[in-house]
Chains A and B, each alone.
Chain A
Amino acid sequence: MISPDPMAAIFSHGWNFSTLGSLWLPNSASSFGPEIQWLWDFWYWMSVFFTVLITGITVWFCIKYRFRKGIRENADPAPDHNTPLEITWSIIPLILMLVLFIFGFKYYMDMDQPPSGCYKISVLAWKWHWQFTYPDDAVTNTLYIPLNTPVEFVMTSKDVLHGFWIPDLSIQRDVIPGRTMTIWVKAIRAGHYKLQCAEYCGDGHSEMLANVIVMPIPAFKKKLAQAADIWMHNGKVLPLHVVGKRVAQLEGCLGCHSVNGARGTGPTWKNLAGSSVQLVSGSATADYAYLKQAILYPGQKMVAGFNNVMPDYYSDFAGAAHKRARKLDALIWYINTLSTHASKTSQPPVPDLPGKAGKAATQPASAAAGKAKSGKPAATEKAPPQKGAAIPAAAMPLVALGKKLYASMGCIACHTVNGTPVVGPTWKNLAGYPVKLTTGKTVIADYQFLRFMILQPGKKIVAGYPNIMPSFTTTLAGKKNAKKLDGLIWYINSLSDKTSKTTQPPLK
């Protein structure tokens, strides 16, 4: 199995002995660094001293007292015990051990107790992948750490033991399924470091790495804002299959599933969608339903020739939040683009949702089914022209008020204004458009409807969205607040190209 290339690599690969921080340990970028380095140095020089002492004396005795025929055939008389000497050489090591113990204990207490008000990053580990979630819901595979900020990692594992180990930040802790493990650090030097899995976890253990980037707080915030929205890139809505590829990376699918046909821990995704799959018992066609099931409940239908090692992705993709289900569809779109067998049955249903992200996705799949490798389908959505939307000039201050409220009241968390549906429907092209309700009825989003939906959101639910919006009766109802509520609806109107008298609030 030895191929010639790696053999050549021994000689051609330019390795270098990495710069020793100071006596072996890396130059720590964490606030614990100086303490750990001090104690290490103490131990290091103690060890050098004793190793040289013991080796030196032993070798010296071997030479000085060596057996010489006719000259030195018997030992000189010497005591076979000496209590003061024996006590001395017991006490000295004991004292040195106590020094190491006391400082090791003291410094460990600092490392064990996070200061209050840490910035919290949750860490999820599974075979063989790291995922980091930040307080504002951004999810990344690269660990971004703000500089000079105490950061607490709240960690758990989906399957087996993993080890969270960043040598350059001097932190390590096991990540254990069923438990929440915590560890904290304050990084004091910006830079690029590596996270390595330290606890053996199977096939991909040695590749279970993540980049760690410590950056100043402004850059950190900017990075997270970018990472927060996987549906967008530079302000443009991405086609679903591109989002799917991002999802595949974030969720670590590509560690086990190749996209080029190579055999991995799991089946390759190349030409998977729409093909016939040999299962442990029977066979199946890899259609949309099958792919969905295989991702959510991986143990249920095992593909012949592979082991049951895939963790289930139920919590990542299924459940109430519609955003997750859409991520799953995006992922399946991506799998479809890798297959020449892709067809309507293997593709997710074209999203019947407001906004155009769904429509964009119909193109890549058909393109892929037609001609497999024709480059990126031209699926990027053009921003629909604002048709000068008949907003009377008199209402413009109200629109501005609504825009302000949109951010300050928190609408922004669930409703986008760019056409991307997230937790709730997007506000773009909402007013004046038909909306399908869970009851099956379709209504036009006019002024009354919008008012109703804001004040009593649970009464009518838009199909495909969870019923989680809180009521705004106390803050927006009544004469006192009429201006605010109208402002919001004016703002919604300003985002639609079908705004009209019926959808706009009455102007006084």
Chain B
Amino acid sequence: MSAVNIPPKPKLNYLNCDKTIRSWLLTLDHKRIGVMYLISTLTAFFVGGMLAEVIRTQLLVPKGLIFHATKHMSSFAAYKHYNQVFTLHGIIMVFMVLIPIIVAGLGNVVIPLMLGAKDVAFPRLNLISFYLYAGGAVMAIVSTVCGAVDTGWTFYTPYSITTETYVCFMVGGIVMIGFSSIFTGINFIVTIHKMRPPGMTWFRMPLFLWGIYATSIIQVAATPVIGVTLLLLILERVMHIGFFNAALGGSPVLFQDFFWFYSHPAVYIMILPAMAIISEIVPTFSRKHIFGYEFIALSSLAIALIGFLVWGHHMFVNGQSAELDTIFSFLTFLVAVPSAVKVFSWMATMYKGAIKLDTPMLYAISFIILFTVGGLTGVILGCIAEDVVLHDTYFVVGHFHYVMFGGTIIAFLGGLHYWWPKITGKMYNETMGRITCVLLFIGVNVTFFPQLIVGAEGMPRRYASYLPQYQGYMIASTVGAYIQLVAFLMMAGYLIHSIFRGRKAPDNPWGGATLEWTAASPPTHYNFDDTPLAIEDCYDYSYIKYDPAIDGYVRTDMPAKPAEEPETAPAHG
């Protein structure tokens, strides 16, 4: 290719086409909205992560290292602050990080690019959605500044009705974030339905889009329930209408049913997009077609739909009838099967591949291992008799951190490293990326594996202090959290470094076959100069060749890039 010889003509991309702050704040460009989401969610992730470090530090000693009894304060008054910390950690991580970070963050940037489209179906709705998220975050901050909440992220009644902390503001913020999630879901469903390029039938879509599609269905169908539930909670707090408070004739268990009717599907809102990212990374870095495409695609939908019917497995010990326990247990086991098959399919994809262990692939492999542990520990929790001895213990905490952190966050980081060159137009330091990934993998296991053991031994969750016999595990877990902190600081370092000093990224640094790699890095404002055709199988890597001149891959099935053609060239037919 002769591209290197052409004098560098400053090519406008979505980042530098308009540099005013106004152009960012009022942008309708899906990529800019995606970047704003990424910045917001990563900021939230930083705050939530620091709170996690506070939690782990507190638990170094049985009576609490940070919040404990002093001359002027009883232990309970001190533990209230610990309770506020873990509540805030949970709320931030669930509602402000895990739910939006992949779908609204990476999804906003990537989905239209994967579809070869200019933007999402409803760009204005997209911007509203971001501002609802931001507004919700502001309300959460107001609540925190006023005095925070100490209910746990689950807001279980009647505690959440009777506590004198700032529940209404926090809950109101979450309702707003819920609307943001609904709008994003509607937007992506319509986008995927209506804006696929010529040639891309449903079963020729990249699996990332299948995952996002299934997720969006859950977002649209389940989120209204949490909205209504939390509004009822506000009504009950303000007007003392007895929905959930037994003292007023309500039922605390009703709240749990409503809450988990959303919050269990919400777990799939978090994990399905993560699986979708892995389904992109594994074939790309194995240089091999994904194994069992149809199954992976349809299993996302199956998980999304069955996922609506398993919420009662959070309530095995709250006295719901044994019949309900049985049905929910059965459906829970049913959901486990498609997840297992996905893991086997990724492994079969690697079989006989040409596996490049670049940073995104290392994250994908970490995901497969960590998700296996998370999934298997979930299986025992779905078993009713065993749940009785594990419910509300650290075993549950360990389990869902393996799934949410070892699953969602690790997959997100894989996706972030995978699409980082596309989003920023810069390459990060690959060696640092690999070292950090390995360090993080170690940190996650050191943090969460001891929690599984200490939970099986009986230590309950949400404890500001604990019996001395658990201390060994708690210290190990805290050491793991510090390892993670180091890893994240390193990551922040080399990613920020890459923005300013990084090598310019080629359009297709990894050899991906999906359409986003045919756009420039970073893409232009309208993504593509021409609507691309989805002629090739998006997992066929045979026609994508490495070009050492640009240290990237080129497709051999496409004409030379239009940008390098003279202005006078005839338009494409």
- Contact residues of A with B, CB < 8 Å? 1-3, 6-7, 9-10, 13, 15-18, 20, 24-26, 32, 35-36, 39-40, 43, 46-47, 50-51, 54-55, 57-59, 61-62, 65-67, 72-82, 85-86, 89-90, 93-94, 97-98, 100-101, 103-109, 111-112, 128, 159-161, 163, 165, 167-168, 170-174, 176-179, 181, 194, 196-207, 209, 255-256, 258, 262-265, 307-309
Interface hit among B26-34, B38-46, B151-159, B486-494: B151-159
A-B contact list, 10 entries, CB within 8 Å: A43-B380, A54-B347, A108-B388, A167-B457, A176-B246, A176-B252, A176-B253, A198-B392, A200-B152, A203-B79
Q: Is the CB of B246 within 8 A of A309?
A: no
In Å, the complex CA distance between A40 and B388 comes to 12
Write out the residue numbers on chain A whose beta carbons fall within 8 Å of the beta carbon of B193: none
Q: Chain A CB within 10 Å — which of B156, B322, B340, B377 has the most?
A: B340
Once the chains bind, are A264 and B468 in contact (CB under 8 Å)?
no
The answer to whether B162 touches A40 (Cβ under 8 A) is: no
CB pair A177–B252 under 8 Å, yes or no, is yes
For residue B56, CB closer than 8 A to chain A, the reply is no
Contact in complex: A176, B318 (CB < 8 Å): yes
Q: Is the CB of A258 within 8 A of B252?
A: no
A39 adjacent to B383 (CB under 8 Å):
yes
- A sample of 8 more A-B contacts (CB under 8 A), given A54-B369, A100-B379, is A15-B469, A16-B472, A47-B377, A80-B293, A81-B291, A168-B458, A172-B391, A206-B465
The answer for the CA separation of A61 and B368 in the assembled complex, in Å, is 13
Residues of B within 8 A of A72 (CB): 354
Q: Please state if B353 and A65 are interface contacts (CB–CB under 8 Å).
A: yes
Residues of the B chain whose Cβ atoms lie less than 8 Å from the Cβ of A160 = 158-159, 162
The residue in chain A whose Cβ has the minimal distance to the Cβ of B462 is A200
Max chain A Cβ within 10 angstroms of own Cβ: one of B63, B290, B369, B460: B460
Beta-carbon contact of B76 and A264 below 8 Å: yes
Query: For window 72-107 of chain B, which residues contact chain A by CB distance below 8 Å?
Result: 72-77, 79-80, 83
B393 and A43: CB pair below 8 A? no
Chain A residues whose C-beta falls within 8 Å of the C-beta of B377 in the assembled complex: 47
Within 8 A of A (CB), among B342-375: 343-345, 347-348, 350-357, 365, 368-369, 372-373
Q: How far is the CA of A2 from the CA of B351 in the complex (A)?
A: 53
Whether B372 lies near A51 (C-beta < 8 A) is yes
Task: Report, nearest first, the 7 A-B pairs whose CB atoms are least far apart.
Answer: A167-B458, A178-B246, A104-B383, A264-B74, A107-B385, A206-B463, A75-B288
Assess whether B347 is in contact with A61, with CB atoms less than 8 Å apart: yes
Write out the residue numbers on chain B whose beta carbons fall within 8 Å of the beta carbon of A170: 388-389
- Cβ-defined contact, A13 with B379, below 8 A: no
Within 8 Å by CB of B74, from A36, A101, A104, A258, lies A258
Interchain CA distance A264-B352 in the complex, whole Å: 65
How far is A59 from B352 in the complex, measured between Cα atoms in Å? 13
Interface residues of B in 458-488 (CB under 8 A from A): 458-473, 475
The answer on a CB contact under 8 Å between B453 and A24 is yes
List the B side residues contacting A15 at CB < 8 Å.
468-469, 471-472, 475
Question: Which chain A residue lies CB-closest to B393?
Answer: A198
CB of B195 closer than 8 Å to a CB of A: no
Contact across chains for A65 and B286 when beta carbons are under 8 A apart: yes
Residue in B73, B350, B388, B464 whose CB lies within 8 Å of A262: B73
B residues 148-199 touching A (CB-CB < 8 Å): 150, 152, 156, 158-159, 162-164
A50-B457 in contact (CB<8A): no
Q: Do A101 and B330 form a contact, CB below 8 Å, given A51-B372, A172-B389, A308-B164?
A: yes
The residue on A at minimum CB distance from B255 is A161
Q: A86-B292, A265-B74 are in contact. Are A97 and B350 (CB under 8 A)?
A: no
Instruction: Establish whether residues A75 and B158, one from each chain, have CB atoms under 8 Å apart when the complex forms.
Output: no
Is residue B456 contacting chain A, with contact meaning CB distance below 8 A?
Answer: yes
Residue pair A198, B391 in contact (C-beta under 8 Å): yes
Q: Does B547 belong to the interface (CB within 8 Å)?
A: no
CA distance A105 to B325 in the complex (A): 8
> For the complex, is B65 an interface residue (Cβ under 8 Å from A)?
yes
Residues of A within 8 A of B72 (CB): 262-263
CB distance from B454 to the nearest CB of A (A): 9
Give, as a whole number of angstroms, the nearest-CB distance from A338 to chain B: 16
Contact between A75 and B337, CB atoms less than 8 A apart: no
What residues of chain B lie closer than 8 Å to A24, measured between beta carbons? 452-453, 456-457
Q: Which residue in B83, B246, B460 is a CB contact (below 8 Å) of A197?
A: B460
Contact at A262–B69, with CB atoms within 8 Å?
A: yes
What is the interface of chain A mostly: helix, strand, loop, or mixed? mixed
Within 8 A of A (CB), among B218-242: none
Chain B residues touching A, range:
35 or more
Distance, CA A106 to CA B317, complexed state (A)? 16
In the complex, what residues of A have CB within 8 A of residue B453's CB? Answer: 24
Neighbouring B residues of A161 by C-beta, 8 Å: 156, 158-159, 252
Task: Closest A residue to B373 by CB, please name it.
Answer: A51
Q: Name the interface residues of B504-559: CB closer than 8 Å to any CB of A.
A: 539, 541-542, 546
Q: A2 contacts which of B66, B76, B253, B334 (Cβ < 8 Å)?
A: B66
B354-A75 in contact (CB<8A):
yes
B247 to chain A: which residues have CB within 8 Å? 177-178
Q: Once bound together, how far apart are the Cα atoms of A159 and B75, in whole Å? A: 21
Chain B interface (Cβ < 8 Å from any Cβ of A) = 60-77, 79-80, 83, 150, 152, 156, 158-159, 162-164, 246-247, 251-253, 286-295, 317-319, 322, 325-326, 329-330, 333-334, 336-337, 340-341, 343-345, 347-348, 350-357, 365, 368-369, 372-373, 376-377, 379-380, 382-389, 391-393, 452-453, 456-473, 475, 539, 541-542, 546
Structural contact, A55 and B369, CB atoms closer than 8 A: yes
Which one of B83, B336, B345, B373 lies within 8 Å of A97 (CB-CB)? Answer: B336
Residues of A within 8 A of B546 (CB): 73
A178-B252 contact in complex given A6-B64, A54-B343, A263-B73, C-beta closer than 8 Å: yes
A173-B73 contact given A6-B63, A160-B158, CB 8 Å threshold: no
Question: Chain A nearest CB: distance from B218 CB in Å?
Answer: 22
Point out the residues of chain B lying under 8 angstroms from A25, CB to CB. Answer: 389, 456-457
Task: Say whether B79 contacts A206, CB under 8 Å.
Answer: yes
Residues of B within 8 A of A65 (CB): 286, 350-355
**Distance in angstroms between the alpha carbons of A61 and B379 in the assembled complex:** 27
Is there contact, CB below 8 Å, between A75 and B159? Answer: no
CB-defined contacts of A198 to chain B, threshold 8 Å: 317, 391-393, 460
Which B residue's beta carbon lies closest to that of A76? B352
A61 contacts which chain B residues (CB < 8 A)?
347, 350-351, 353, 355
CB <8 Å contact, A172 and B317: yes
Q: CA of A98 to CA of B61 in the docked complex: distance in angstroms? A: 41
Q: Which of chain B's residues has its CB closest to A198's CB?
A: B392
Distance between Cα atoms of A239 and B468 in the complex (Å)? 37
> Is there an interface contact between B341 and A90, defined as CB atoms closer than 8 Å?
yes
Q: Can you name the residue of chain A whose Cβ is closest to the Cβ of B78?
A: A1
Cβ–Cβ contact B372 & A55, under 8 A = yes
A205 to chain B minimum Cβ distance, whole angstroms, is: 6
Taking the closest CB of chain B, its distance from the CB of A272, in whole angstroms, is 15
**A17 CA to B65 CA, complexed, in Å:** 20
Residues from chain A with Cβ under 8 Å of B251 in the complex: 178
Pick from A3, A13, A36, A80: contact of B385, CB under 8 Å? A36
- A80 near B369 with CB under 8 A, answer no
Shortest Cβ gap from A434 to chain B (Å):
46
- Look across to chain A and name the residue whose beta carbon is closest to the beta carbon of B453: A24
- B460 interface neighbour in A26, A107, A196, A307, Cβ under 8 Å: A196
Nearest chain A CB to B74's CB is how many angstroms away?
Answer: 4
Known pairs A90-B341, A163-B460, A255-B76; A104 contacts B68 (CB<8 A)? no
CA distance A40 to B380 in the complex (A): 8
Q: State whether B289 touches A202 (Cβ < 8 A).
A: no
B319 touches A179 (CB 8 A): yes
Asked if residues B355 and A67 are in contact (CB atoms below 8 Å), the reply is yes
Provide the bound-state CA to CA distance between A204 and B253, in Å: 22
**Beta-carbon contact of A172 and B355 below 8 Å:** no
Residue A205 contacts which of B73, B83, B287 (CB distance < 8 angstroms)? B83
Give the Cβ gap from B237 to chain A, nearest Cβ, in Å.
13
CB distance from B102 to the nearest CB of A (A): 22
A62 and B460 in contact (CB under 8 A), knowing A75-B541, A108-B322, A264-B76? no
CB pair B337–A98 under 8 Å, yes or no, is: no
